[in-house]
Amino acid sequence: MNKPELLAKISAARQALVTVLENVPPARRAEPVLAGGWSVKDCLVHINFWEGQLVTLLYQLRNGAPLSAAHFSGRAVDEINAEWFEKGKSRSWEMAWSDFNGLGKQIARRVSEFDERELNNPRLNPKLRGRPLWQWIENDTYGHEDEHREAIEAWLRGG
């Protein structure tokens, strides 16, 4: 994976998600219309939590700090998601939207700090479990955003 391609995929997925989110009627953003009783706002807060953890991971990797992001907690993803769902319920749409926009800028900046050798090195850090960094980035950005965008699109289509 080369860095320009990675950054382009991140940007394209984010823009596609923004387009879909802008089509959600404001009065319906907090309705539990998605799987698991989540609202579109809950989904956005969920994306923000994982992207925030990615920013932490990238910062720690760049600065040689011990990796402490949720990815390495030893807890099941479903357990983490359930905890974050409860914590994020009271977050307003405006705050979630602001967080989303700020995280987008941080992710682009943090990813840009790594060269292609680092992005593709499966041994960059033992905690990355033999996976290159770009795959961790994909999982928490465009891969994750596309998954949730598709669910929101299906709901908007009435599916």
pLDDT in tens, 7-44: 999 999 999 999 999 999 999 999 999 999 999 999 99
Which one, of 106, 110, 102, 104, lies nearest residue 3 by Cα?
110
For residue 33, the tally of other CB atoms under 10 A from its CB is 18
What number of CA atoms fall less than 13 Å from residue 116's CA on the CB side? Answer: 6
CA-nearest of 37, 20, 11 to 89 is 37
Structure tokens at 109: 């900046």
Structure-block tokens of residue 44 = 């956005």
- Per run of 10 residues, the mean pLDDT along the chain (length 159 residues) is 98 98 97 96 98 98 96 96 95 98 98 98 97 98 98 92
Q: How far apart are CA 137 and CA 119, in angstroms?
A: 9
SS3 116: helix
- The confidence score (pLDDT) of residue 57 equals 98
Q: Is 106 exposed, middle or buried (0-12, 13-18, 19+ CB in 10 A)?
A: middle
Q: What pLDDT score was predicted for residue 159? A: 60
- Mean predicted lDDT score pLDDT of the chain: 97
SS3 of the chain: helix, strand, coil, percent, to 5: 75, 0, 25
Stated pTM of the model: 0.96
